[in-house]
């Protein structure tokens, strides 16, 4: 289980505290007003931001001081998820090992996963030749190949249209979500959370709250969430 233990984050004047567990085998959505610290929390989980105090744990392992590449964590950013000068196969293959020449069995695995995300035959293309949706699929293929137990999604599909975005979220659920994987996704769209997430963590007022089941939190949203959703005045 991915765990934030008395975590205190500081970035300039901004602070955030978090003390919660992210359940395994589920998608947890981070929601809250913009600037509340959703991406900051994700940066800390991924290892890009050192916490002031507290610990980040996965099962019993302390990740707090482990460099990003050595954590059991994959991440997808809002943009720049693919290296423009590398082919789709090379980009996806980086999930297997961070080298450009893979062994033949590894290459076969890359081709298999590319097919799984609907990119069969795109191996030799460059990211620039692909549409936005296809680029997202390629990045997803890399995360699948990395086979790490935690996946962080920092709004990687935000730039896609609603139809494509739903398609991608369904693909994430179908391919990435396994019983022993923890998926944390930042979103500002309640529909995304309802569609893909079993739990919602509300990030607001300098605090990341404990996860709550998606259905119940939207049924009776706390005041902050209600304000954010624009239903508070009703």
Partner 1 sequence: MAHSPFTIKLRWPGALAGALVLLLTLGTLGAVAWQAEWVGGLSPADYAAIRFTVLQALASAAISTMLAIPVARALARRQFRGRSILITLLGAPFLLPVIVAVLGLLMIFGRSGLLNGGLAWLGLPGFSIYGFHGVVMAHVFFNLPLATRLILQGWLAIPAERFRLTASLNASVWQLLERPMLRAVAPGAFLVIFLICLTSFAVALTLGGGPRATTVELAIYQALRFDFDLGRAALLAGIQFLLCACAALVVWRLSTADMLSGGMDRRVQRWDSGAAWLDMLVISAAAIFLSLPLAMIVFRGLPGLVDLPVSVWWAAARSISVALVSALLCSGMAVALALWGGRFVAVVGVLPLAASGLVIGTGAFLLIYPVMNPAKAALVVTALVNATLALPFALRALEPGIDTAKRDFDRLAASLGFGPWRFARMIILPRVRRPLGFGAGLAAALSMGDLGVIALFAGDAQETLPLAMYRLMGAYQMQSAAGAGLLLLGLSLSLFWIFDKGGRAHAQM
Interface with partner 1 by CB under 8 A: which residues?
11-12, 34-35, 37-40, 43, 46-49, 67-71, 73-75, 77, 80-81, 83-86, 94-95, 98-100, 126, 128, 146
Q: How many degrees, rounded to 5, is the angle at CA 198 between CA 162 and CA 222?
A: 90
Nearer to partner 1, 166 or 188 (CB): 188
Nearer to partner 1, 12 or 163 (CB): 12
Min dist CB 108 to partner 1, Å, is 21
Nearer to partner 1, 99 or 174 (CB): 99
Min dist CB 131 to partner 1, Å, is 18
Nearer to partner 1, 40 or 209 (CB): 40
Q: d(Cα 46, Cα 126) in Å, to the nearest integer?
A: 27
Q: d(Cα 179, Cα 145) in Å, to the nearest integer?
A: 17
Whether 89 and 46 have beta carbons less than 8 Å apart is answered as no
The most distant pair of C-alpha atoms in the chain lies apart, rounded to whole Å, by 60
Min dist CB 233 to partner 1, Å, is 27
Min dist CB 218 to partner 1, Å, is 24
Q: How far is CA 26 from the centre of its chain?
A: 12
**DSSP-assigned beta bridge partners for residue 202:** 31
């Amino acid at each position: 289980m991915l765990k934030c233990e008395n975590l205190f984050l500081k970035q300039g004047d901004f602070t955030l505290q978090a003390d919660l567990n992210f359940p395994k085998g589920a998608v947890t959505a981070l929601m809250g007003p913009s600037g509340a610290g959703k991406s900051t929390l994700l940066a800390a989980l991924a290892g890009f931001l050192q916490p002031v105090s507290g610990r980040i744990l996965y099962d019993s392992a302390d990740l707090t001081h482990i460099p990003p590449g050595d954590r059991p964590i994959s991440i997808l950013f809002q943009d720049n998820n693919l290296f423009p000068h590398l082919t789709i196969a090379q980009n996806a293959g980086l999930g297997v090992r961070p080298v450009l020449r893979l062994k033949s069995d590894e290459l076969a695995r890359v081709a298999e996963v590319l097919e799984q995300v609907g990119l069969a035959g795109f191996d030799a293309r460059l990211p620039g030749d692909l549409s936005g949706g296809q680029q997202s699929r390629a990045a997803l293929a890399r995360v699948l190949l990395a086979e790490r137990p935690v996946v962080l999604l920092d709004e990687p599909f935000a730039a896609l249209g609603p139809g494509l975005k739903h398609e991608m979220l369904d693909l994430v659920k179908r391919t990435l979500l396994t019983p022993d994987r923890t998926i944390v996704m930042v979103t500002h769209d309640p529909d995304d959370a309802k569609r893909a997430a079993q739990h919602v963590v509300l990030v607001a007022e300098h605090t990341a709250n404990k996860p709550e089941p998606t259905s119940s939190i939207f049924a009776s949203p706390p005041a902050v969430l209600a304000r954010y959703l624009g239903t508070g005045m009703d």
